[in-house]
Chain A
Amino acid sequence: MTAAGVPLSWYLILAALLFTLGAAGFLLRRNIITMFMCVELMLNAVNLTFVALAYHLRQVDGLVLAFFVMVVAAAEAAVGLAIILTVFRNRASVEIDEVQALRD
């Protein structure tokens, strides 16, 4: 039972919903920017779980991990956006189906 009376399970359900939304978006959308945002959504869903559980279990580990995830997300955003920018410069498009150079 949390302070505001919101039960833990609600947080977890919300996180699961957010994660599913993110995953579904990642799989279904074709715009790389959108996919990128979906990734962020998933990360934050996980963060929410961490924070909620940390609070629930009165342990600081979850919070630390959440910070980790945020730092990684920031770094990832920087690199990821740079890559997207380069892709756009080269192909004048951000459609994921057109970027398949990894195959070979």
Chain B
Amino acid sequence: MNLLDVVLILPLAGFLLLLFLPREREQTIRRVALGFALLTFVLSLGLAVGYRGAGEFAFVTDKPWIRSPEIRYHVALDGLSLWLVLLTTLLTPVGILVSWNYISRRVKEFYALFLLLEFGLIGVFVALDLILFYVFWEVSLVPMYFLIGVWGHERRIYAAVKFFLFTMAGSVLMLAAIIYLYTYAGTFDYVELLRLQAAGNLAFRRGEELLLFLGFFIAFAIKVPLFPLHTWLPDAHVEAPTAGSVMLASVMLKMGCYGLLRFLLPLFPQASRECAPWIVGLAIAGIIYGALVALVQPNMKKLVAYTSVSHLGFVVLGIFTFSQLGADGAVYQMINHGISTGALFVLVGFLYERKHSLEIADYGGVATPAPNLAAVFMITALASAGLPTLNNFVGEYLVLQGTAQVNFRWAVLAATGVILAAGYMLWLYQRVFFGPAPESVREHVYDLKRREWAAMLPLVALMVWLGTASETFLPAIRQTNAWILERARTSGEVRVQLSMPREEAKP
């Protein structure tokens, strides 16, 4: 039992404990949930301190779980998952803080599910057994379904079902691909699969590899979400409660991006390379499309949701350039998007708590009654629009620089998304915060409270930190990406070389 196991188990323990607390003691429930979330976060900081792998897996636990077929409890951390785990453990307490007054019905169930969600999300990022990965993938799906379906806004049932069905459609294909892979390789273990592949014992026929690739890819692409599979996202975001939106945007979407890098590129290098131009095309289309549609949204949450489509297009673009810079930028952008879009949803949630509306038209002049809220929103909006010295710029720069090295035309197209980002963010800001404040706004909108500061300050601090001192985070990412890309670029050829002599030896 190492630190990683503790970090993984702790939210589950919190979930179980909450189930046994009496339902009436709401304040206790909130405090316990926050306590568990904070403890998890503090312990997870130890992961960052203790992680010194050079692209290797650290904090490995590998125990048998089910004998036949052999499924193992195999969890570990590398530079790719490290920051995503930290992002999860950071945003869970933030989510709990912003739900403090917002959630008034079924308090116990809410916080219990929230911790279960954290458990599932951490698990997804650390699982190295494909079935274990799949289990965590689904575990994270269920609480989110309930978060949207129970505590959401008016059309919550529609949104929850849509969310569930879209994701399920993908994950079923992934399960099929996992099982098919097992019949081939005889193992679910990721590291073992890599070893087999490196030794040339995992050779697919071309069509097979493509099918397996697509099975995984569709699951991940829906989760990312990649254009044109994104339409569940705006609905889910609009209907979800604030904390649900935060976790959904900040962490859940990263599951797809993570999967692309963790599984697709190393396991199916040839298919990845073959499909790359198409995927890049979709990513760029998503960047521009998401930004354009965001521009005209009348609903704040929908607007932010479409910006996610645009931002995550950068992530996918970076990954499928197969360049070190692009992949580094993509991973960095995952964290950035988690921080800045999470913060945006938190802030929109604050506005909703005050005025009970998500329509931009219902606001205006908020800067007058709530200057601090306006200032924090401004910083967050600028971060999201990619202003240098704030976080998104670093990621976008790396992605676009990596893209430009591979294909300059792609970079030109993708960079238009950056212009549009300024457009939708500033236009939103102008309509919500500037101008004279109407009576209804002055009456209901107040400035940030201490609890709200507590939720926002770490995020703002991280925006600056990520934007100015990227070398805190990048080395781990770089090392892990280096070996992933090494495999993605070359293992196809290696395999051919290795398998040739074996076949000749047979007769």
Decide if A and B touch, CB cutoff 8 A.
no
Q: Which residues of B contact A (CB under 8 A)?
A: none
Q: Which residues of A contact B (CB under 8 A)?
A: none
